[in-house]
Structure 1
Amino acid sequence: MTYPEALQELVEEFQAIDDKRERLEMLFELADEVVELPQDQWDEDTRVRGCQSEAHVRIGIAEGRIQFLSSADARMVQGLMGILTIALDGLTPAQAVLIPPSFAEEMGLLNTLTPSRSNGFRNMYDKVMAELRQNKGD
């Protein structure tokens, strides 16, 4: 599958790293990519259910493009959000919903995370995609 350019580059960067520890370090660095959702805007609508940490995402659409806002109480989860920020920010909802969750497996990301973190990432992805499908017509 061909992904949007920024995500394709990220997939290739992760694939080039064999060491699990280095992948985790890169994941922590990706936390800096997040456009933060202020904590006073966290609520049940933004909460990612099934995530080990307190995690929140909000999808905005401006001029037909996604604005991905997110925040979490754990840096690793922020890094996972950074991946979704890189993958989705600036795309149209119609483009974004075509991105399958398999990119995380191709990256080698799921082998790097604990099962509960992998599950949390999938829950985050599913929440975002459900919201984007609702906004696709906007």
Structure 2
Amino acid sequence: MDDDTTRPTAVRTEADWREILTPEEYHVLREAGTERPFSGEYENDPTIGVYACRACGAELFRSETKFDAACGWPSFYAPLAEDRVRYIKDTTMGMERVEVRCATCESHMGHVFGSEGFPTPTDLRYCMNSLSLRLVADSAG
């Protein structure tokens, strides 16, 4: 699933990223780490809005596509648009998965899983780290 036709447009040095991000954010976003399950601020957040990349601010998901997968991380059934994310084959941890990265800055968001039987329009679960996202609430009125 590597897609080498898209290149990040928000390019920074790793030193720049270390200055911008907290150590926990850096570990998840730049080193493809994973936050502990059931520890993220957005797992159960009902706020209506857009979920943007915490590193660069690119808008990636809408709250309308968020659903409760009871997996410990915020889950979505689709990105805002396919060109907002990049898919990378991930064979770490002794299994084959599909990593999801921000197409704008190449930061790690989480993984996408399919055919798990969730009653969503896509039967996909974009399992994202809260530390990879920043929720921008829709303005009222």
Same fold (TM over 0.5): no
Q: Which structure shows the higher helix fraction?
A: 1
Structure richer in strand, relative to its length: 2
